[in-house]
Amino acid sequence: MTKLKGKTALVTGAAQGIGKAIALALANEGADIVVSDINLELANQTAEEIKSLGVKTLALKTNVADLCDVEQGVSQAVTAMGKIDILVNNAGITKDGLLLRMKKEDWDAVLAVNLTGVFNCTKVISALMMKQRSGKIINIASIVGEMGNFGQANYAASKGGVIAFTKTMARELAGRKVCVNAVAPGFIATAMTDKLSEEVKKAMLAQIPLGKMGTPEDIAQAVLFLACPAADYITGQVLNVNGGMLMNT
Ligand SMILES: NC(=O)c1ccc[n+]([C@@H]2O[C@H](COP(=O)([O-])OP(=O)(O)OC[C@H]3O[C@@H](n4cnc5c(N)ncnc54)[C@H](O)[C@@H]3O)[C@@H](O)[C@H]2O)c1
């Protein structure tokens, strides 16, 4: 499996869940991987697992919400790996609550990680890609950014913002042969959805035509497709991976 041999990918929030599955899928195609996460202990474990696939890896502690931290992390990554060809903006958090009860801190925290984090990493790494005149940026959005969701005003706004940001970056970076796309997962089995009540999970499942939750690997395969040369003519798109829960025209 060598579709990405010679490429380096930096995946944010790659220590666990969807980010980890993405990192493994890219490594399985021969890409060297920077496992970037706020949780260094878990990132180190993931990097060890990836190393056993025979590619180069580096675990980095980075808070995507902090631009200085991102600049330092990217500089370390470039020193160790030489370049970055693929950026996957995956780090994300939820702090759910109805608007009337939502604290300002919970709004700010979700926007800071999910939207400003994507801005920070894209700003720093797209500068390198523009010089290289090549690159792939793949942003993990959410079905919630397209349809809204009860109790998730902060999260939905952040993910809707990621989609608009993706389309804008696709236009700004196309001239330098940098493609920017988003993957919008539906309801995926990870730590993020584990904390939902059985009642909420049941209600979600009832809305999915394929009748089951997705897996992190389902998302990873969509990201892998966009990262590979087969998708070189695709930019500014949102790839929905949601079991049919939302069907766009
Ligand atoms: N699970 C789902 O159903 C689902 C659905 C749609 C979209 N998503 C999106 O997929 C992405 C991954 O979600 P997941 O379910 O794997 O979540 P998860 O909670 O399992 O993993 C998120 C990872 O991001 C890291 N992280 C959190 N804050 C960070 C920060 N400030 N800087 C760097 N890293 C940070 C965490 O340490 C963790 O390793 C998120 O953007 C999420 O919004 C998930």
* pLDDT tens, position by position, 68-90: 999 999 999 999 999 999 999 99
Q: How far is the CA of 175 from the centre of ligand 1 (A)?
A: 31
Query: Across the strands, what pairs with 86?
Result: 9, 136
Residue 219 burial (10 A CB sphere; 0-12, 13-18, 19+): buried
Query: What's the full length of the chain, in residues?
Result: 249
Q: What is the mean pLDDT of residues 18-29?
A: 98
* pLDDT for the residue numbered 49: 98
- Using a 6 Å CB cutoff, which residues line ligand 1? 12-13, 15-19, 37-39, 62-65, 90-93, 113, 140, 142, 185, 187-188, 190-193
Task: Name residue 180's beta-bridge partners.
Answer: 137
pTM for the full model? 0.98
Tokens of 105: 């801190």
Share of the chain above pLDDT 90, in %: 96
Assess if CATH 3.40.640.10 describes domain 8-241: no
Give residue 41's pLDDT. Answer: 98
Cα–ligand 1 centroid distance for 154 (angstroms): 15
Mean pLDDT of the chain, nearest integer? 97
pLDDT grade for 248, boundaries at 50, 70 and 90: confident
Which has the closest alpha carbon to 37: 215, 222, 149, 191? 191
User: What is the average pLDDT across 40-50?
Assistant: 98
Could you state, in order of their start, the residue ranges of all structural domains in the chain?
8-241
Q: What are phi and psi of 205, to 5 degrees?
A: -60, -35
Kindly list the catalytic residues: 155
Tokens for 142?
Answer: 């959410």
Residue nearest to atom 17 of ligand 1 (CA): 192
Are 146 and 167 in contact by the 8 Å Cβ rule? The answer is no
pLDDT digits (tens, 9 = 90+) for 151-169: 999 999 999 999 999 999 9
Residue 96 tokens read as 């759910």
**Nearest-5° angle of CA 142, CA 104, CA 163?**
20
